[in-house]
């Protein structure tokens, strides 16, 4: 599934894979101003719609965002969150800098304006071009106006505010192998026809069922037909938490044995199986 989107971040729920998903690393107290990590060097902003930009700063700190002759300001709330909207802009392959100023100034470089596509699904969408028999496609992949985020699959027990560490890459023979194959072919064709810059967001995880992607409000409440899904996950999370103390004790015991084996150059004992959170060990509870 490929969707053009001006929604940069979707925070899921208790049953959600944090594929768009995300770690908040900036402390709200005495924090330098900083944007959400999607706004990093090489980002593509969505054309023809107001552009949201957001991040963290000191509480009550005024933050000013400047880009392409436009300026927008906001005051961080008590938790240090801020958000502004830049006006709608036409597509542009002319790289510009995005400035975010508060207690400090952050400069995001090489920013284009074009179409941003959310690429979601299972392994057929996540599969990389480098895994295909496509040496000619990789060799000829010189498209500096097509950018993609490096792979950033991340599982979390709770909704997250920022993505894990990742970066934007322009498509080139050096980087194309790491781009998702289906979105690459799609973006290449669209760009050749339109010359509009393209940004590709990958939110695809192989072998996942729809239940794994559902937010908590879809697991009951206004959707009573789905209440059983929510209960299954709640029960799985409770079982996971009950199993942690014993699993930690077993792992600590194994570490002692493993250190002794290394010191004495004897066979290493097999480590115990450590339980996975249901959002990761999805096959245990997702299937109906």
Residue 95, domain member (yes or no)? yes
Tell me, what's the pLDDT at 24?
35
State how far the Cα of 253 lies from the Cα of 189, in Å rounded to an integer. Answer: 56
- Residue 62 CA to residue 79 CA, distance in Å, equals 13
79 located within any domain: yes
Among residues 157, 187, 207, the one where a domain terminates is: 207
Token match 């920013």: residue?
A: 111
167 and 273 both lie in a single domain: no
In a domain, 17, yes or no: no
3-class state of residue 259 by DSSP: helix
Residues 85 and 158 in one domain: yes
Last residue of a domain, one of 159, 178, 207: 207
Residue 249 lies in a domain: yes
Cα radius of gyration rounded to whole Å, the chain: 22
User: What pLDDT, on the 0 to 100 scale, is given for residue 163?
Assistant: 82
Q: Are residues 185 and 221 in the same domain?
A: no
Tally of residues, the chain? 288
The verdict on 200 and 61 lying in the same domain is yes
DSSP assignment letter at 164: P
pTM: 0.76
Give the domain range for residue 273: 217-284
Same domain, 191 and 54: yes
pLDDT of residue 26: 36
> Do 151 and 249 sit in the same domain of this protein?
no
The number of folded domains in the chain is: 2
Enumerate residues 6+ apart whose C-beta is below 8 A from 218: 13, 226
- Cα 157 to Cα 234: distance, rounded to the nearest angstrom: 11
pLDDT along the chain (288 residues), means of 10: 47 32 37 88 97 95 97 96 97 97 95 96 90 93 94 71 87 95 96 97 82 77 81 85 95 95 94 84 53
Same domain, yes or no: 161 and 254: no
What is the reported pLDDT for 220? 76
Residues 36 and 113 both lie in one domain: yes
For the domain that residue 65 is a member of, what is the CATH number? 2.60.40.10
Report the C-alpha gap between 38 and 8 in whole angstroms: 8
The pLDDT, as a whole number, for residue 185 is 96
Shared domain for 225 and 170, answered yes or no, is no
CB atoms within 10 A of CB 277: 15
Residues 185 and 246 reside in one and the same domain: no
33 lies in the same domain as 176: yes
Residues with Cβ within 8 Å of residue 138, at least 6 apart in sequence:
129, 130, 173, 176, 177
Would residue 4 count as lying in a domain? no
Give the residue from 207, 233, 255 where a domain finishes: 207
Three-state secondary structure call for residue 96: strand
């Amino acid at each position: 599934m490929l969707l053009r989107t001006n929604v940069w971040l979707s925070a899921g729920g208790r049953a959600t894979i944090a594929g768009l998903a995300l770690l908040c690393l900036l402390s709200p107290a005495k924090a330098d101003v900083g944007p959400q990590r999607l706004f990093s060097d090489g980002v593509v902003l969505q054309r023809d719609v107001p552009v949201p930009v957001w991040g963290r700063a000191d509480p009550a700190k005024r933050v000013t965002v400047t880009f392409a002759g436009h300026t927008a300001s906001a005051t961080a709330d008590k938790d240090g969150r801020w958000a502004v909207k830049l006006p709608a802009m036409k597509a542009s392959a002319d790289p510009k800098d995005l400035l975010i100023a508060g207690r400090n100034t952050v400069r995001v470089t090489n920013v284009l304006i074009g179409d941003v596509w959310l690429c979601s699904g299972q392994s057929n969408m996540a599969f990389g071009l480098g895994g295909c028999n496509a040496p000619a496609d990789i060799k000829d992949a010189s498209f500096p106006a097509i950018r993609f985020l490096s792979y950033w699959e991340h599982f979390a027990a709770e909704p997250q505010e920022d993505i894990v560490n990742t970066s934007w890459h322009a498509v080139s023979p050096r980087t194309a192998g790491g781009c998702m194959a289906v979105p690459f072919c799609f973006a290449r064709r669209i760009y050749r026809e339109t010359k509009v810059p393209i940004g590709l967001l990958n939110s695809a995880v192989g072998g996942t069922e729809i239940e794994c992607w559902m937010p908590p409000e879809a697991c009951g409440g206004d959707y009573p037909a789905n209440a059983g899904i929510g209960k299954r996950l709640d029960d799985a999370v409770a079982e996971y938490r009950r199993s942690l103390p014993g699993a930690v004790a077993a792992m600590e015991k194994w570490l002692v044995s493993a250190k002794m084996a290394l010191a004495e150059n004897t066979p290493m004992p097999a480590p115990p199986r450590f339980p996975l959170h249901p959002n990761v060990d999805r096959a245990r509870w997702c299937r109906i």
